[in-house]
Amino acid sequence: GDDSGSAGAGPVTLRLGYFPNITHAPAVVGVEKGIFKEKLGSGVTLDLKTFNAGPEAIEAIFSGALDATYIGPNPTVNAFSKSKGEAVRVVSGAASGGVALVVKPGITSPEQLRGKKIATPQLGNTQDVAVRYWLKEKGLKTTKEGGGDVKIVPQQNAQTLETFRSGAIDGAWVPEPFVSQLLNAGGKVLVDERDLWPDKKFVITNLIVSTKFLKAHPDVVKKLVEGQVAANEFVNTKPDEAQQAISTAIGKITGKPLDLKLIKQAWPTLEFVNDPVASSLKTGLDHAVTVELTQPTSLDGLYDLKYLNEALKAAGKPEVVQP
Amino acid sequence: MTSTTTAPQGATTAVALSGVTKVYGRGTSAVLALDGVSLDVAPGEFVCLVGASGCGKSTLLNLVAGLDRPSGGQIGLAGDTNPGLMFQEPALFPWLTVEGNVEVPLKLRRLPRAERRERVAELLRTVHLADFGRKRPHELSGGMRQRVALARTLALDTPVLLMDEPFGALDAMTRDILHDELERIWSERQLSVLFVTHNVREAARLADRIILLSSRPGRIIYSTEVNIPRPRRIDSPEVAAIAADVTERLRTEVGRHGQ
Amino acid sequence: MTSTTTAPQGATTAVALSGVTKVYGRGTSAVLALDGVSLDVAPGEFVCLVGASGCGKSTLLNLVAGLDRPSGGQIGLAGDTNPGLMFQEPALFPWLTVEGNVEVPLKLRRLPRAERRERVAELLRTVHLADFGRKRPHELSGGMRQRVALARTLALDTPVLLMDEPFGALDAMTRDILHDELERIWSERQLSVLFVTHNVREAARLADRIILLSSRPGRIIYSTEVNIPRPRRIDSPEVAAIAADVTERLRTEVGRHGQ
Amino acid sequence: MASDTLTSSARTDAEISGLDALEIAGRDKEISRGARIWAATWPKLAALTIAILAWQLVVWSGWKPPYSLPGPMEVGRELISQARGPQLWDGLVTTLRRAAVGYVFSAAVGLLLGLAVARSKVLRAAIGSMITALQTMPSIAWFPLAILLFELSEKAIFFVVVLGAAPSIANGVISGVDYVPPLLLRAGRNLGARGLNLYRYVIAPAALPAIVAGLKQGWAFSWRSLMAGELLVVGISQTSLGAQLTYSRDLSDAPWLLSTMIVILVVGLVVDAAFGAADKAIRRRWGVLDQAGN
Amino acid sequence: MASDTLTSSARTDAEISGLDALEIAGRDKEISRGARIWAATWPKLAALTIAILAWQLVVWSGWKPPYSLPGPMEVGRELISQARGPQLWDGLVTTLRRAAVGYVFSAAVGLLLGLAVARSKVLRAAIGSMITALQTMPSIAWFPLAILLFELSEKAIFFVVVLGAAPSIANGVISGVDYVPPLLLRAGRNLGARGLNLYRYVIAPAALPAIVAGLKQGWAFSWRSLMAGELLVVGISQTSLGAQLTYSRDLSDAPWLLSTMIVILVVGLVVDAAFGAADKAIRRRWGVLDQAGN
Ligand SMILES: Nc1ncnc2c1ncn2[C@@H]1O[C@H](COP(=O)(O)OP(=O)(O)OP(=O)(O)O)[C@@H](O)[C@H]1O
Ligand SMILES: Nc1ncnc2c1ncn2[C@@H]1O[C@H](COP(=O)(O)OP(=O)(O)OP(=O)(O)O)[C@@H](O)[C@H]1O
Ligand SMILES: [Mg+2]
Ligand SMILES: [Mg+2]
């Protein structure tokens, strides 16, 4: 395999991306424990890439430099809509949950947020939409420009802890591990986003594959999804070992092992499910339209869960709904 | 207005200027530096140019060297090499040693290293700076720099030599010695020389012909052949007589203009 | 070894050098430029320094001007202003016009604008460059630049003037005129002048006293008073006689060294 | 006259204009204003045309999908639609205002720092090397400190910008001062310029070309730091070019990204024109204009 | 001798050494080697001590909580623990290797581009201004193009680095060439140097100081671009300084961030020392050393 994706004979290379991040636990563990390698077999060469942020991963998929990647819901939607539904397909979920609104200790009700500043990772991203929609439901107005009853401050996650500590913001609606960090900095959870969703499930990481690769090497994608299912199995059955693996694997990439305590702290808020919870993505998009952050976009055809269901069936697990 | 002077024997010509005019700048601040200068230098002829400060002597040499373009008129040169020009300032390359500076024209002519080294040593001996080859220009005195520039120009080995006050910063004795050296090289190599000087005696000592330029704009106002047999001495009465004549004419010219 | 010469009348002294030595560089490449020079210049005295190329004349002026530190010996100056030094090169500021260059020392002395303008115009008239005030140095001829440098040095109004071949790039006539101007200013302002030249006649024309430096290392080898009454003419026989005497001694010195 | 015997032809205008442009000084004597403007413009137009054409050809070749590499037409449409809305202009105004303030401040700091270090042996030994080291520090490294000191205010952005640009400007000053011709320094001192006056009358003007070069480099540093720094304080009340650059990437919106890049390039070109004019003025004064092809 | 009547005292060594260091050229004649090294070292040590002391004082003052602003002790401990492990060294080696390759390549491109633009009037009119404009383009804007052209390879990193550094180096070359003294150009031409030879024998050496200044600025650009570009391709088992910088910030690990910054500063200092040595060698040759305090 190369970017031409020709279905010819010979060894295929699968270029797989992921982030050295706790919400990408199945990917990190699957790589570290050799699960993907085992599932893909000798006929497939696994070429691993790691990213720090979504845009690079999407750029890589778009330009044909990457075949599949673990990624958050937001870049997924962007990739799908900007390529007019061409570039990518979601073939599996990976993780759910792990998002919360953490605020200063004094704040215990939505009403107290009036006039306060709440940080989100990025204007118009999942968390940004979630906080705005939630506030709207509580009768608090927000504006894109950061005005309204509650001031929304989109900023890089890296900055959130600094600004929270320095008092420049009063709370933040962020994913793990930033939730745990904010809690350690004296914050209190005001809203656990899981509570807002049916079954307490909403997508935080899923696995996407470039359409071209999917067409050229469906068999490889199938094996990849099998690997994902097996990785989740590992993560869910041997959490201690998984946590340790995450810590060391991240250390190799970033230069310093991730604090095991932090992983353990964040762990319970996350759920590693194979279901991409398609409904949550759709609902999130509807919410975004409601808070006037985006135009309605069709997500028809984004999901291709055939392989996931095959893999789940083979593993003796319940299948998921193909939207 | 065109002032003309031709080489004595109407044979071939090494340098031919005809109606050369040079204007610097544009509009109201334009300066007419040369106005219709016509002048032929015969091969092997030694021509000295004298004239008041700012009358266009350096301009003329620059034009002949092809470093500047005349505003009018034509300049012809025998052979296809540009003449060697010794500038009024030493114009040494500060990043090179004395040897390095003298070596540049030899390198540009792709002489082999051994020959270059030999030529450089010889030239430095000619200008009495054999001990200073490894110094850098900023470590030299003014007169020494001028002599390095002379050596560098001589290294060019061009048949036509243009020299702009080459001995201006030298004491009388060193100058005398270099007069002899220059005369020797000139006759050995059959050079044509166009030599600018303020020292009228020097002109009379060296020249076959002395040409006097008027003050701005530069025009040829006087030309005289120096028929004193060589070798000459700068303090000989014949030289003094010629010098006195030229000085007198120069005095009239500057007096007319200077005040 | 110390060579000494004192000002004629043992009155006060404008410049006093005693046993001044200057070594450039270190170790094996060290050059002894001056070796035990002792010299007093009386107030109002005009002293000319002559000597072969590279004998240390510029070095001496730099030391007196305080731009460099002697390696040995002491230099004393009357008054507390540094002497004005006219460098061997014009050393004009290329970013300023001719007027701007001459104005710098006046600005540094905080003269009011009107007075500055007047002084600049006057000085440019003195050096015969009244029309060139708005030009930039690169638009001038070599001799013109030298005259601007002269005007700038005169603008300093210091009681002691050090001049390093100030008229080297000038034609004889312009030089004659400037000799007169310099002499006038010198006597009007009662200046003490230390004047380096290669032109022995010029020295005899201007000096109260001529001092001859030996070739490297520079030592005072001869000193003579010029008692010709002023005004003098450069082509007068008295001047020629003195010049011949100094030339003869210079010739011996250079001859001893030069070859 | 015996010039007919000359072996070389006379140096005519035609011959000389055949020489390398470099070889002849002061050529464009008689050239009209219009011709001069045209001579400066056509190469730019040609370069632009070639670039756009090449781009279009690559797009037509289908080498990469259009969502990955949009064509000039699409980007042009995006740019026009951006230009019609207020967002681009608001962002541009905000960014330019910040750039101006930040740059002026950086220039002041950089010039003072450069002069101080160039002037004092002790300071140079102490922090001279630190200046280059600081220059190499990426902007994001300063973000935490900026927030610590200035919280989420515009000042935090300026802090990052100044830390990015000032060292570069200071380095320009130092290198300029180091290469002031010693003769001019001596002349200045002899004319009575000491201490600050020596700087004012000799060193600063003599070092001006290098200082302008440093200011130009400093502009690039300050602008790049600003693009990064604008993410520090996003969307509180206004959008900015830096934010648009990042958002367009975050949204994988290639046409928007490219049109933002074009805006940045245009700003860069305008600023370069200003520096170019300054530089040309200095070169004209110094008499080094027109020697090497411009 | 009448020197006792002089109103000013003799110019003694003591008097002169009281003057501004700037005023006297060639002072350190007789100073021993040890003393010279000490003179260059103590201000650095003093600056370092003052900086660390001030930092410690701020920390002690309790102005900010220690997790926000850790003290020098804590950062020192972190640095030591980093230095004991392999990750820092691996990252440093990776980054330095990339920096070296990228910089050499940038320098080559920048020098050629600069010479070409400086030499040709048409090229200058066409793309001269583009160079500064390119310089102002933030690295992240090039990421999509880098990935498009080179996929996720090291080449993509080099692409970003070269686009960051080469324009800056080219600008240094252009400004150097523009200010070559016309007299030297004319002398070179008269000595027979035309075309490339003129560049080799006159223009390049005459422009060397400006070129070195440009190379120095280019280093800063390339390093900063590299720090950003290294995030493009993070190997799964290969860390880099750029990755460490970003991740330490992402994790709000202040001691780690600060220790990484210290490593970057040290690299910057070492590189500056190299440039400083080159610059000093040039200045010694040109005879402009020791005039302004160093
Ligand atoms: N680059 C220039 N731009 C403008 N004017 C110039 C330029 N070069 C020379 N000039 C003017 O042309 C005239 C002649 O100058 P040139 O240098 O040829 O004189 P010169 O005869 O060599 O004088 P000198 O004996 O003083 O060296 C002068 O008036 C000078 O001001
Ligand atoms: N900066 C320097 N470094 C090293 N040596 C120098 C330096 N300046 C001058 N010298 C040497 O000192 C000696 C005297 O130089 P100086 O310039 O004083 O001579 P001069 O008498 O002015 O000569 P000229 O008449 O040629 O100008 C020369 O041998 C020269 O090489
Ligand atoms: Mg001249
Ligand atoms: Mg001298």
Mean pLDDT of the D111-133 span:
86
The better pLDDT of the pair B48, D28 is held by: B48
Q: What is the pLDDT of residue E13?
A: 39
For position D238, what pLDDT does the model report? 61
Q: What pLDDT score was predicted for residue D229? A: 84
B25 C-beta closer than 6 A to ligand 1: yes
Q: What is the pLDDT of residues C121-142, one digit of tens each?
A: 999 999 999 989 999 999 999 9
Ligand 4 centre to CA of C215 (Å) is 12
Q: Is the pLDDT of residue D18 over 50?
A: no
| Rounded CA separation D139/D161 (Å) | 8
Residue whose Cα lies nearest atom 30 of ligand 2: it is: B140
Counted across chains B and C, CB pairs separated by less than 8 A come out at: 115
Q: Do chains C and A touch (3 or more CB pairs under 8 A)?
A: no
Residue B183 has pLDDT above 90, yes or no: yes
Output the average pLDDT for chain A. 86
> Which pLDDT score, from 0 to 100, does residue E289 have?
65
pLDDT (0 to 100) of residue D11: 42
pLDDT of residue B114: 94
Long-range pairs, A84-88, Cβ under 8 A, ≥24:
A84/D67, A85/A298, A85/A300, A85/A301, A85/A302, A86/A211, A86/D65, A86/D67, A87/A61, A87/A62, A87/A210, A87/A211, A87/D65, A87/D67, A88/A61, A88/A208, A88/A209, A88/A210, A88/A211, A88/A302
Question: How do beta strands C15-24 and C31-41 pair?
Answer: antiparallel
Q: What is the pLDDT of residue A122?
A: 81
Instruction: Please report the pLDDT score of residue C25 as a whole number.
Output: 82
Report the alpha-carbon distance of residue D271 to residue D107 in Å, rounded. Answer: 15
Higher-confidence residue of A310 and A292: namely: A310
CB proximity B95 to E under 8 Å: yes
- State both tokens at A208: 């996407």
What distance in angstroms lies between residue D194's CA and the mean position of ligand 4's atoms?
Answer: 25
Are D5 and B12 a contacting pair at CB < 8 A?
A: yes
Amino acid D31: pLDDT: 60
Task: Note the pLDDT tens digit of each residue in B127-140.
Answer: 999 989 999 999 99
Judged by average pLDDT, the poorest of A64-68, B243-247, B250-254 is B250-254
pLDDT in tens, A184-211: 888 999 999 888 888 888 889 999 999 9
Compute the average pLDDT of residues A76-97: 89
C-alpha–C-alpha distance, residues A50 and E235, integer Å: 6
What confidence score (pLDDT) does residue A16 get?
A: 92
In this prediction, residue E11 carries a pLDDT of 42
pLDDT at A148: 82
When mean pLDDT is compared across B198-207, C4-13, D174-183, the lowest value belongs to C4-13
If we measure between CA atoms, which residue out of C133, A249, B19 comes closest to residue E236? Answer: A249
Question: Residue E289 CB: number of other CB atoms within 10 A?
Answer: 18
Residue D14 predicted with pLDDT over 50: no
pLDDT of the residue at B254? 65
Could you tell me the end-to-end alpha-carbon distance of chain E, in angstroms, rounded to an integer?
39
pLDDT of E124: 86
The tens digit of pLDDT for each residue in A226-258 reads 999 999 989 999 999 999 999 988 888 888 888
Contact A24, A263 (CB under 8 A): no
Find out whether A178 and A269 touch, Cβ atoms under 8 Å.
no
Each residue of D46-102: pLDDT tens digit?
888 888 899 889 888 888 888 888 889 889 999 998 888 888 888 899 889 999 999
Distance CA C115, CA E62 (A): 61
What residues 169-198 of chain E have any CB closer than 8 A to a CB of chain B? 183-184, 186-193, 197
Task: Tell me whether E32 touches chain C (CB under 8 Å).
Answer: no
pLDDT digits (tens, 9 = 90+) for B32-42: 899 989 999 99
**Dihedral angle at the C-alpha atoms of E190, E192, E198, E200, nearest 10 degrees?**
-130
Closest approach atom of ligand 1 to CA C171: 25
- Residue-level pLDDT at E237: 66
Q: Which residue ranges form the domains of chain E, and what is each CATH number?
A: 79-285 (1.10.3720.10)
Beta carbons of D280 and D289 less than 8 angstroms apart: yes
**Token representation of residue D212:** 């302008």
pLDDT at D2: 39
Q: Are B198 and C172 in contact (CB under 8 A)?
A: yes
pLDDT digits (tens, 9 = 90+) for A29-39: 999 888 998 88
* Residues less than 5 Å from ion ligand 3, measured at CB: B 58, 88; C 141-142
Q: Label residue B63 by pLDDT band (50, 70, 90).
A: very high
For residues C186, C191, C192 and C194, what is the CA-based torsion angle, rounded to 10 degrees? Answer: -50
pLDDT by residue (tens digit) across C213-239?
Answer: 988 788 898 899 999 998 888 888 999
Q: Which of D186, D190, D283 best probes binding to C when mutated, by most C CB atoms within 10 angstroms? A: D190
Phi/psi-derived region of residue A143, left when phi > 0, alpha when psi is between -120 and 50, beta in every other case: beta
Number of helical (H) and strand (E) elements in chain D, helices listed first: 12, 0
**Residue E19 has what pLDDT?**
34
Sign of CA dihedral B96, B98, B100, B105: positive
Residue from B92, B140, B167, B178 whose mutation best tests the ligand 2 pocket (most atoms within 8 A of CB):
B140
pLDDT of D138 strictly over 60: yes
Q: Whose CA is nearest to atom 20 of ligand 2?
A: C54
Q: What is the mean pLDDT of each run of 10 residues along chain E (294 residues)?
A: 40 36 39 77 85 88 80 90 86 91 94 89 85 87 86 86 92 89 91 89 90 90 88 74 85 86 89 86 76 36
Model-level pTM? Answer: 0.85
